[in-house]
Structure 1
Amino acid sequence: MNDFLLIFRRDAGFDAQLTPEQMQAITKPWQDWMGGLAAQNKLANSGARLAIDGKIVKPGNVITNGPYVEVKEAVGGFIIIRAASLEEAAELSKNCPILSTGGNVEVRQIVPMQ
């Protein structure tokens, strides 16, 4: 088995537009999907949601605010799953709830450091 990072992207500021009731309604499908991955022993790390604001560190010790407001799509969170191949990891991602709200999932194999 290999580990794969699933990176969840959607429109920047999507969460800020939701009411508490809407946020609660979209949480249940995430719990169900991730619970299903865990039941299959495919969930290696439960990941996390990411805050809207952040900092960008650039060469020369330059630190700026980010992500930038003109960016349409932002990383909203991630998890790590276990799968036999990139194809299997992508198949497991097809039921991700972010897809039903206009987002997407980037699937990347984690290569251990030698």
Structure 2
Amino acid sequence: MEDYLILMRLDILTKEAQPSPEQLQVYMKQYQEWVNGIVAKKKFKGGTALSTEGKVIQSNHIITDGPFVETKESLAGFIIIQAESFEDAVSIAKDCPILMGEGNSVEVRKIMNIHKEE
């Protein structure tokens, strides 16, 4: 099995896009059920949510507020899973409840080990 990153993107800044406390409870329950299903298959490795604040550092060392430069869609969090193949990882990611939100998306990326272990 190989490791894959599932990045979750949604609008976490626009006040109108934020769920009510009741809706948030429902969404978190759906998300936990999805993650628990991955855990039950022994494919969950970890993950976390990300704060709304950030900085973008460009190649010329210019630092700007970010990460929301041109879009309301921002990286809200990620999980790392193990999967048999890229297709298996995509199959797991397509059930992410974040996709029920208008304009939300998830991205699946294979984690490549470029650092040699010492």
TM-score, normalized by length of structure 2?
Answer: 0.85
1:15-34 matches, cutoff 5 A: 17-34=18-35
Deviations 1:15-67 (A, max 9, x none): 8622222211110001100000000001011x111112211112343221112
The one-letter code matched in structure 1 to 2:22 is E
Aligned CA distance change for structure 1 residues 14 and 90 (closer, same or farther; 3 Å)? farther
1:70-85 matches, cutoff 5 A: 70-85=70-85
CA distance in 1, matches of 2:21, 2:81: 29
Cα deviation, residue 82, structure 1: 0.2
1:27-106 matches, cutoff 5 A: 27-45=28-46, 47-68=47-68, 70-102=70-102, 103-106=104-107
Is 2:99 aligned against 1:107?
no
SS in 2 for 1:44: strand
**Number of residue pairs aligned between Structure 1 and Structure 2:** 113
SS in 1 for 2:22: helix
CA distance in 2, matches of 1:93, 1:24: 21
TM-score, normalized by length of structure 1?
Answer: 0.88
Deviations 1:47-101 (A, max 9, x none): 1111122111123432211123641321111000000110000001121101111
Aligned CA distance change for structure 1 residues 58 and 70 (closer, same or farther; 3 Å)? closer
SS in 1 for 2:95: coil
Q: Which runs of 4+ in 1 moved over 4 A?
A: none
Q: Quick check: 2:14–2:72 contact (8 Å CA) kept in 1?
A: no
% identity of equivalent residues: 42
| Runs of at least 5 residues in structure 1 that lack an aligned partner in the other structure | none
CA distance in 1, matches of 2:26, 2:38: 20
